[in-house]
């Protein structure tokens, strides 16, 4: 059975709406892995690489910050990726939100609170500076993007198209609803799993 690794956005978890919609859509057809990602980017990248090594997913699907990670890891582990509303400047996003926050969906460890600090912003800045280092001609066809036409948070399609070729749109915002995810994301995921390896 095929395996799909889903990487959620910064405020989300592995039980967010897109993750649950993905599990439902591929029930009986694919194993869907939806881990909770650590707050710190280096820790998140380490976990994702470990999962790719142990589980060997056929595709990585990300949303927002999860797409930021997927874009960097995909060429390293040799797994195609679908980037949903990728946010390539997480440091800018976080800098405006320094302080205490809560995750918007339940985390497996039960901890719903986190703090955005100047140090965390710097950690993302350091990684952002090298986020496209692993891009190559081979990756141009293996990393696809899907962009919400009503997204008010991330506007990175022009930057995406500097590196990759396949860009799609859906009539939604930054975080797709379950219906939008199943209608627009899932057919692309199926197509990628059938055509790219």
Q: What is the structure's pLDDT at 195?
A: 86
CB 44 within 8 A of CB 70: no
- Give, as one character, the DSSP assignment of residue 137: G
- 153: how many CB neighbours lie within 10 A of its CB? 13
Per-residue model confidence as pLDDT tens for the chain (197 residues): 999 999 999 999 999 999 999 999 999 999 999 999 999 999 999 999 999 999 999 999 999 999 999 999 999 999 999 999 999 999 999 999 999 999 999 999 999 999 999 999 999 999 999 999 998 888 899 999 999 999 999 999 999 999 999 999 999 999 999 999 999 999 999 999 998 76
How far apart are the C-alpha atoms of 43 and 66, rounded to whole Å? 13
CB 63 within 8 A of CB 12: yes
Against a cut of 0.85, is the pTM above it?
yes
Q: What is the structure's pLDDT at 138?
A: 80
């Amino acid at each position: 059975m095929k395996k799909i690794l889903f990487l959620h956005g910064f405020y989300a978890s592995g039980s967010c709406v897109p993750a649950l919609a993905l599990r439902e859509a591929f029930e009986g057809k694919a194993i869907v892995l939806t881990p909770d990602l650590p707050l710190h980017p280096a820790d998140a990248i380490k976990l994702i690489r470990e999962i790719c090594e142990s589980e060997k997913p056929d595709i990585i699907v990300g949303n927002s910050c999860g797409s930021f990670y997927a874009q960097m890891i995909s060429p390293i582990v040799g797994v195609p990726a679908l980037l949903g509303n990728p946010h390539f400047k997480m440091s800018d996003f976080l800098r405006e939100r320094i302080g205490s926050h809560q995750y918007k969906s339940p985390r497996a460890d039960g901890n719903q609170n986190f703090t955005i600090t100047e140090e965390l912003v710097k950690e993302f800045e350091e990684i952002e500076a090298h986020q496209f280092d692993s891009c190559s001609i081979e990756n141009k066809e293996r990393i696809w993007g899907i962009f919400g036409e009503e997204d008010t948070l991330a506007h990175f399609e022009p930057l995406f198209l500097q590196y990759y070729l396949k860009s799609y749109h859906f009539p939604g915002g930054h975080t797709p609803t379950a219906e939008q995810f199943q209608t627009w994301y899932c057919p692309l995921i199926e197509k990628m799993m059938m055509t790219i390896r």
